[in-house]
Amino acid sequence: MKTTIEILEEILKAEEIDEITPFDDPWRNVDIGKIIDPAELHCPWWLFCKAPDCEWPFIAYKRNQKYCSRKCSANAARDERRAQHEIEFIGIDGEGVNVLNDAGEIVEHNYVLLCANGINTEPLFLHRDDSRLTTLEILEWLYYTVFPRYPDACFVTFAMGYDLSQWLKNLPKSRARSLFVKAEIQKRKRTSSGGNPTPFPVRWRDPERPTREWEFDTLGTKRLKLRLRETPYRDYSGPEIDNVKNKSPSWMYICDVFSYFQQSFVKAIDPEPRIKAGTASIVTPEEYEIIKEGKSRRADAGFDEAMKQYNALECDVLARLMKELDRGMVENDIRLRRDKYIGPGQTAQASMDGIIKTSGADFRRKNIEEIVPLEFRNTARQSYFGGWFEIMKHGMHEGTAYEYDINSAYPKVMTQLPCLLHGNHLHGDSDPYRAGQLRPYRNNGFGLGPGQILCLVDASVVGLHPRIGAMLHRRARSNRAHART
C-alpha cells in the first residue's frame, strides 16, 4: 500500500502544483476523487471539512481541526448560529393600583410597578413603593437598565395597550398627537430618503435636562422603539457644534406578541391543552394557579411583595411562551429578527420570502403586477370578502338552536386557489358556458382543479327570501360588502 506522502506526491505531479499547504487555494482545485478515494488513506491528518457547503478533504495541522480554512470556520459558525436561531426573550410587564375615596369609589389609577424578566434570569424591577411611575422614569429605566443588561434580547409584552398608555402618560399633547394621530404621522413621512418608508421618530426633550432628547415611535400598539440622544439642541441656523458624536445610539424595540395567540394570557399558557396534545407544559400547576390568582385580584390589588413575585413570574412565563413559539417557527424554517415579533403577518412574510428563495416562485407584488393583467387583479381584489354571519331569526327562540362552522375554512380554500402567475387570463362579456375563447378548456369543466376554469363574474344580485339575504357583493363605487333583500 502506498504511503500518504507517495499519494500526495502523485497528486502534486498530476496537477502540476508546486506545493500544498493547509490553507492554499490551489489545493482546492485538485479533483482528488479522480485520483484517489480519500477513504482509502490511513492518515489521521487527512480529514474532511465540516462546513456543509464545502466538505472538501484537506490536510489538518492539528488533530481537532474541523475546517479546511478560516473562511469555512467563520461561515460554518455563523451558519450554525443562524440555524439554531437562539434568541433570548425578555418579558416586560407592569402593574397598577386603584386609589379609592372614603366611599370606596375609584378616584385615581397609579402605575406603580414595572418588571423585566426572562428564563433563568434575575428580575429587574422599577418602583417607588406605591407611588406612580412617570414617563421619564420608565423610559430611562428601560433604556439604561434593561437594555444594557440584555443588549441582544428580544423584548416582548402581552397586550401592550395598557402598559404603553401608562409609559407615555406624561407626554405633552403635541408629542402624543404626533405619535398616534394619522394626520400627524403623515407629516413625519420621509420625502427624500431613497424610498425609506419609516417615518421620522417623535422627539421629546427631557424638561429636567434639556441636553437629553428622547426619540421614539410606535407601530400602532404592536411595537415601541426608543433611544436617547445626549446632544445639545440642533441649531440649524448657527455654527456647527463641536464634539458631537456622529454615530447614532442603538434602538430598543419592545414587541407586543398578543396577536400570535388571540386570547387571554391565562388561556395561552393553560397546561391542559398541551397535556392533551402530548406536549410539555411551559408552567407548573403551582405557577399557573399563581398567575390565575394574580389576574383575578387586579381590581383590588395593592403594591406588596406578592405583586412583585407575580409580576416577575408573569414575565418569566411570557418568555417561555415565546421560546416555545419561536422553536416551532424555526422547525418550519422561519427565523425572525428581534424587532419583528409583532404578529403572524411577519411570520407569513418570512415564510413567503423563504419560499421565493428556495422554489424560485416570485409572487411579490411587483412581479404579479408585471404578469397578471390589471383587470384580473382588480377582479380578484373585488372578489375578496371578510367573514359573514347570517342571522336567521331575531328575538327569543324556543327549543334547540344549532350553529355550524367549518374549521379553517379560509385556509383550506386558499390552498385550492389557482396561482395567478401560472395560467391563461381571459376576459369576455358573454355567457362563460358559451364563450368561444373557453372552448379549448371546456372539457376540463369549471372549478379549482388542475386545468379547470375559475370564473369570476361581475353580476347584479337580488335576494327573494324573506329571511336569507342575497349573496355577498360589493356596491358600485364602494369597497364595502352589503346584502340586499
What is the structure's pLDDT at 354? 85
- Rounded CA-CA distance 219/168 in Å is 14
Q: What is the pLDDT of residues 32-78, one digit of tens each?
A: 444 445 455 445 556 777 776 677 677 676 667 777 777 776 665 66
- How high is the pLDDT of residue 240? 45
Looking up cell 478533504, which residue turns up?
57
Q: What is the mean pLDDT of residues 471-482?
A: 57
Residue 419 C-alpha from the chain's centroid = 25
Does 371 score more than 60 pLDDT? yes
For the residues of 215-252, what is the DSSP string, one character each? EEEESTTSEEEEEEEE-----SSSPPPSS---SPPPPE
Decide: 316 and 118 in contact? Cβ < 8 Å.
yes
Question: What does the block give as the cell for 154?
Answer: 428580544
Please tell me the predicted confidence (pLDDT) of residue 4. Answer: 52
CA dihedral 447, 451, 456, 459 (to 10 degrees): -70
Computed on alpha carbons and rounded to an integer, the radius of gyration of the chain in Å comes to 32
Give the pairing type, strands 89-100 and 154-157.
parallel
Q: For residue range 215-265, list pLDDT tens digits in order.
A: 999 998 899 999 998 766 554 444 444 444 445 789 999 999 999 999 999
Domain with CATH 3.30.420 in the chain: 89-189+197-235+247-322
| The pLDDT of residue 93 is above 80 | yes
Spell out where 12-139 has E strands: 46-48, 57-59, 89-100, 106-118, 124-127
Percent with pLDDT over 70 in the chain: 77
For the stretch 152-193, pLDDT in tens is: 999 999 999 999 999 999 999 999 999 999 999 999 998 887
Check: CB of residue 217 under 8 Å from CB of residue 208: no
Model pTM?
0.70
476 pLDDT above the threshold of 60: no
Give yes or no for a contact between 30 and 10, defined as CB atoms under 8 angstroms apart: no
Q: What is the pLDDT of residue 167?
A: 96
CATH architecture of 89-189+197-235+247-322: 2-Layer Sandwich (3.30)
Between these two residues, 127 and 43, which has the higher pLDDT value? Answer: 127
C-alpha closest to that of 264 among 309, 213, 314, 225: 314
